[in-house]
Amino acid sequence: MALFDDVRNIIVEQLHVPPEKVMMEAKFIEDLGADSLDTVELIMAFEEKFDLQISEEEAQKLDTVGKAVSYLEGKVTT
């Protein structure tokens, strides 16, 4: 779960939310108070942390914590 911890830390820092709110099913916009610019910045922070590129098409699908985690797991382990 090291990857989840990293993702959660980024979300907590970027969106200023308490860690316990960052659950797998939480939606960035509806549940964690992000606006459209926050989500762009969040994706950029993931790219930075995990040293990868996320296309805009892919990024648009990542609207929950869980989707982001599984996407990143797939990219980081391969």
Scanning 22-30, 37-45, 58-66, 69-77 for contacts with another protein by CB under 8 A, the matching segment is 37-45
Q: Is residue 48 a contact residue for another protein (CB under 8 A)?
A: yes
Among 5, 30, 47, 73, interactor with another protein by CB under 8 A? 47
Q: Does 40 bind another protein (CB under 8 A)?
A: yes
Looking at the Cβ atoms of 63 and 70, the one nearer to another protein is: 63
Q: Is residue 35 annotated as part of the catalytic site, yes or no? A: yes
Does residue number 53 form part of the binding site for another protein (CB under 8 A)?
Answer: yes
Paired with 27 in beta bridges are 64
Residues annotated catalytic, as ranges: 35
